[in-house]
Amino acid sequence: MDTGSTTPSNHGAGKEVSEEEIARLARELLEAWNAHDIERIKTFYAPEYEGVDVGQAEPQRGPQSVPQNVERYLRAFPDLRFVEEDIVVQDGRVVLVWKAYGTHRGRLMNIPPTGRNIVVRGTSVLTVEDGKVVQGLYVWDVAGLLRSIGLLPDL
């Protein structure tokens, strides 16, 4: 990652944002998730935000959809925490490879709590414009989650 360069936003006439600033934004967002700070998490998203999470049937639209998403995961895993495994920034986008840890203590995807510990790998692809996330794609190992909670056999 060339952290000294700037890249124009790829979504229109936004100000130039450095790759270093985009990486910092992604790390601060991860910190907010780990602090379970829903109000702070919401501040990272632009009014025109659209997100797709493989674990949800409907896309997220606007920053008002973010708290619902965060709360859904925190209800299911009240001790949820993320660890950054890799980060790549290019052309106004950041790819964050992460691992999530938690204890399944609430419903998720209509699955009742099992009390089991989970470890799930995933990737977030975030498009940043003017210092805010305008698009998000969240791809994570749903089958790995189902194995962790005992609904799928180990491979």
Q: Which of 10-14, 94-98, 117-121, 149-153 has the lowest mean pLDDT?
A: 10-14
Is residue 30 assigned to a domain?
A: yes
Domains contained in the chain, number: 1
pLDDT band of 8, cuts 50, 70, 90: very low
The H or E element containing residue 29 is helix 19-34
* Residue 17, pLDDT score: 83
Is residue 70 assigned to a domain?
A: yes
* Residue 77, pLDDT score: 98
First and final C-alpha spacing in the chain: 35
Its pTM stands at 0.86
Domain of 23 in residue numbering reads as 16-148
Q: Where are the beta strands (DSSP E) in 3-149?
A: 6-7, 17-18, 45-53, 60-61, 81-90, 93-103, 117-129, 132-140
Joined together, the tokens standing for residue 6 give 């700037």
Sign of the alpha-carbon dihedral angle for 65, 71, 77, 78:
positive
For 52-95, the pLDDT digits (tens) are 999 888 999 998 899 998 999 999 999 999 999 999 999 999 99
Is residue 67 assigned to a domain?
A: yes
Is residue 153 assigned to a domain?
A: no
Q: How far is CA 90 from CA 20, 64, 68, 143, in A?
A: 10, 27, 29, 29
Is residue 130 assigned to a domain?
A: yes
Specify the residue for token string 């124009």: 8
Which domain CATH number covers 82? 3.10.450.50
Is residue 72 assigned to a domain?
A: yes
* Residue 5, pLDDT score: 39
Is residue 49 assigned to a domain?
A: yes
